[in-house]
Chain A
């Protein structure tokens, strides 16, 4: 079945770049997503990438996709305390477009 793996925790200093990594098994996914979840809140769609792209940049966010290695990453430039949250990698699976999520990476930003 489909599987999405993420490292569970990342700690960075304010102003540095953060890189959150994700690996997956289902190579047929057409779209891959990054969601952000703040404490006690729902999921906020941050960005997505189409499977025929290698990179997508959106302001401070850069998504890199390596289809050969089934590896997706999210880089956050100039990380701020407001970026502290849990970040979920997700991909579409199945004919009805269900999302398969990783367990989430908790990003802690310290001064």
Chain B
């Protein structure tokens, strides 16, 4: 157990809808990163939040957005869902300002868009 929890574990949405995924970071960790893992592929970096602000972003469109709260938990929001958004969404927490970013992952949310 990493101490990183994600909810929900599974979700089915219709194309065009909006979805919110949630992540509670490991105690003591102040940085949350989100990754998208399509079937048969490695995780792809979406963005990172540190001190409630977006701290870096991968190659994802603006309809992917996020939030980080004062307790360091985080949300990933995806608007106007497309079929290709179907994937496992992983949250990772880490402690910034350390040289070794040991990122600990949650179990993921499996999103299916139909």
Contact = CB atoms under 8 A, between A and B. Distances in A.
Interface string A1-42: 000100000000000000000000000001100010000011
Contact of B42 (A31, A41, A92, A101): A101
B48 interface: yes
B56 A45 contact: no
State which size class the interface on B falls in: 20 to 34
B55 A96 contact: yes
A98 interface: yes
Interface string A85-110: 00010101011111111111000000
Contacts of B99: 30-31
B69 to A, nearest CB: 19
Interface of A is mostly: strand
Interface in B64-114: 90, 92, 94, 96, 99-108
Interface of B: 2, 4, 6, 33, 35, 40-45, 48, 50, 55-56, 58, 90, 92, 94, 96, 99-108
Interface of A: 4, 30-31, 35, 41-45, 48, 50, 88, 90, 92, 94-104
